[in-house]
């Protein structure tokens, strides 16, 4: 039987991704497609070894490699210019950034007679489907892969890339997904539908399978198609596809900087007046007289209401057209984050954590004796300390937070992947909703497989009516 890799049915990336450790890293920081720290691929013929002074790579000899591959006697250590194809270059993606991305969870039907599990809650409790524990190693397409712990009596599973002819019973068909991708799917589901539709997901997968990307018609990054050869191609520049989109090292620390920026002014984001710097020809709106700008007479609350209705692009246009919107309220940026970048689900959580941290630190330092210390504390800082100890919400410079998030979105591998997967999850959920609508409309010619799943979905198939 030929070699086949399983891939995540949400993000379309293989579970068999490797990492080539750098010359500075220990053995366990590298792994091959099977998860072994010893790469089976031939390290001696890698292009980067033809000019090691340029690539910075080197091969080392392992006297007793633990597996039987002859090639694994030579193990490759990556330099900055590595081209070895056994995995992503350790110089370009960290061990922690890739954590969990070569293991799977499965969406599958509960075995007949399965008892409910302790800790069952929400959708899963009511559903005939469940989400398995994570595999202990990269999943295999032909032999069962062990799970970290048993759920509903299931301790090992074979996943499938699509419902194949040999997969007659839906109980046999386990749908593999990354743990992180499923977590994003859950978040988007709750946001869009108020629930996680396990049966709907399984029914869509059965109804609209795609050999190339899990589910038909999803807009995946086009490069994925080029990378999905027999073995995943670890092409330089595509490391983001293997970066954990949920657990992003340093994310909160990077965010804290933006929140702790002390807001200036009265909660209004002040922009530089470009009229003062430019000629009237360069800045068309400078020729406006305020009396012909109807927005100038609007109170700030109404202006805020206008702003929150617009996309960021429209706001930019409005700011060019009207002087009334040259100054944007900082709170506007919070709404912008929530509406246009919903994948940053941590924004309020990070703020609360910072407030908690300040409160606890000041409580420990000053206790109930703040007044005793007040003489030596600058008034602005004293007021800040007082407010935190009284648990008043911090005045946040949301514009600063917004800028920081946008910068990180472009430059952080995990966040780039998060945005990608969030949009895919949105598409999947729209498809599930559309399918449910057709079922509820009683379109009997609309097919759901297998029949047992159709029954669970409450759908009567055409042949059942006849």
> Residue numbers of the site for Zn ion (CB under 5 A)?
8, 10-11, 48, 57, 78, 82, 84, 178, 181
What is the closest distance, in whole angstroms, from the C-beta atom of residue 95 to Zn ion in the complex? Answer: 17
Query: In this structure, how many other beta carbons lie within 10 angstroms of the beta carbon of residue 114?
Result: 14
Q: Residue 433 CB, nearest distance to Zn ion (Å)?
A: 21
Cβ 134 to Zn ion, closest distance in Å? 13
Work out the angle at residue 359's Cα, subtended by the Cα atoms of residues 357 and 362, and round it to the nearest 5 degrees. Answer: 105
- By beta-carbon proximity to Zn ion, the closer residue of 93 and 181 is 181
Classify strands 214-215 and 154-157 as parallel, antiparallel or unpaired.
unpaired
| Cβ closest to Zn ion, residue 161 vs residue 396 | 161
Residue 100 has phi, psi (to 5 degrees) of 80, -5
Find all residues with CB under 8 Å of 32, minimum gap 6, and list them.
18, 38, 39, 40, 41, 86, 87
> Cβ of residue 375: shortest distance to Zn ion, in angstroms?
58
Q: What minimum distance in Å lies between the beta carbon of 11 and Zn ion? A: 3
Nearer to Zn ion among residue 48 and residue 453 (C-beta) = 48
Q: How far is the CB of 91 from Zn ion (least distance, A)?
A: 10
Q: Which is nearer to Zn ion, 82 or 158 (CB)?
A: 82
**177 Cβ contact partners less than 8 Å away, ≥ 6 residues apart:** 8, 9, 10, 104, 105, 106, 107, 185
**Least distance CB 421 / Zn ion (angstroms):** 6
**Between the CA atoms of 379, 383, 384 and 388, what dihedral angle is there, to the nearest 10 degrees?**
150
Q: With contact defined as beta carbons under 8 Å apart, do 193 and 429 qualify?
A: yes
d(CA 268, CA 272): 13
Beta bridge partners of 108: 130
Q: Are 177 and 183 in contact (CB under 8 A)?
A: no
Query: Closer to Zn ion at the Cβ: 8 or 108?
Result: 8
List the one residue out of 344, 305, 329 whose CA is nearest residue 395.
Answer: 329
φ, ψ (nearest 5 deg) of residue 242: -105, 10
Closest approach of Zn ion to the CB of residue 186, in Å:
13
Residue nearer to Zn ion on the CB measure, 94 or 245: 245
Please say which residue, 52 or 450, places its beta carbon nearer to Zn ion: 52
Report the C-alpha gap between 405 and 337 in whole angstroms: 9
Nearer to Zn ion, 87 or 329 (CB): 87
CB of 374 to Zn ion, least distance (A): 54
Instruction: Give CA–CA dist 93/243, Å, rounded.
Output: 8
């Amino acid at each position: 039987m030929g070699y086949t890799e399983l891939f995540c049915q949400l993000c379309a990336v293989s579970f068999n991704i490797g990492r080539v450790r750098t010359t500075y890293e220990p053995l366990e920081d590298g792994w091959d497609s099977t998860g072994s720290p010893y790469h089976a691929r031939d390290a001696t013929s890698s292009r980067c070894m033809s000019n090691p002074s340029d690539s910075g790579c080197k091969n080392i000899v392992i006297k007793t490699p633990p597996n039987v591959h002859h090639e694994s006697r030579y193990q490759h250590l990556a330099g900055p210019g590595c081209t070895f194809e056994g995995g992503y270059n350790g110089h370009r993606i960290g061990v922690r950034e890739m954590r969990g991305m070569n293991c799977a969870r499965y969406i599958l039907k509960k075995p007949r007679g399965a008892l409910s599990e302790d800790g069952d809650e929400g959708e899963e409790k009511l559903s005939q489907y469940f989400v398995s524990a994570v595999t202990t190693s990269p999943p295999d397409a032909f032999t069962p892969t062990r799970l970290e712990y048993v759920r509903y009596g299931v301790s090992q599973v074979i996943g499938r890339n699509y419902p194949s002819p040999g997969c007659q019973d839906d109980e046999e068909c386990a749908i593999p997904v990354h743990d992180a991708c499923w977590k994003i799917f859950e978040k988007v589901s709750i946001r869009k539908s108020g629930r996680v539709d396990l049966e709907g997901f399984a029914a869509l997968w059965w109804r609209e399978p795609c050999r190339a990307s899990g589910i038909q018609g999803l807009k995946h990054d086009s490069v994925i198609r080029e990378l999905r050869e027999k073995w995943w191609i670890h092409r330089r520049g595509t490391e983001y596809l293997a970066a954990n989109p949920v657990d992003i090292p340093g994310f909160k620390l990077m965010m804290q900087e933006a929140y702790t920026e002390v807001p200036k002014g009265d909660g209004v984001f002040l922009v530089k007046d470009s009229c003062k710097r430019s000629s009237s020809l360069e800045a068309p709106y400078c020729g406006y007289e305020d009396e012909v700008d109807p927005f100038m007479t609007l109170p700030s609350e109404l202006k805020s209401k206008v702003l929150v209705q617009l996309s960021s692009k429209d706001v930019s246009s409005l700011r060019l057209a009207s002087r009334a919107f040259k100054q944007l309220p900082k709170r506007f940026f919070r709404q912008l984050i929530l509406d246009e970048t919903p994948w940053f689900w941590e924004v309020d959580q990070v703020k609360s954590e910072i407030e908690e941290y300040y409160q606890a630190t000041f409580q420990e330092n000053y206790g109930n004796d703040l007044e005793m210390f007040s003489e030596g504390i600058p008034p602005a800082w004293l007021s800040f300390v007082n407010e935190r100890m009284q648990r008043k919400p911090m005045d946040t410079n949301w514009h600063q937070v917004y800028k920081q998030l946008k910068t990180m979105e472009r430059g952080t591998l995990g966040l780039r992947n998060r945005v990608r997967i969030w949009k895919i999850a949105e598409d999947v959920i729209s498809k599930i909703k559309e399918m449910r609508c057709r079922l509820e409309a009683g379109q009997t010619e609309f097919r759901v497989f297998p029949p047992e799943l159709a029954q669970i979905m409450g759908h009567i198939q055409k042949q059942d009516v006849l």
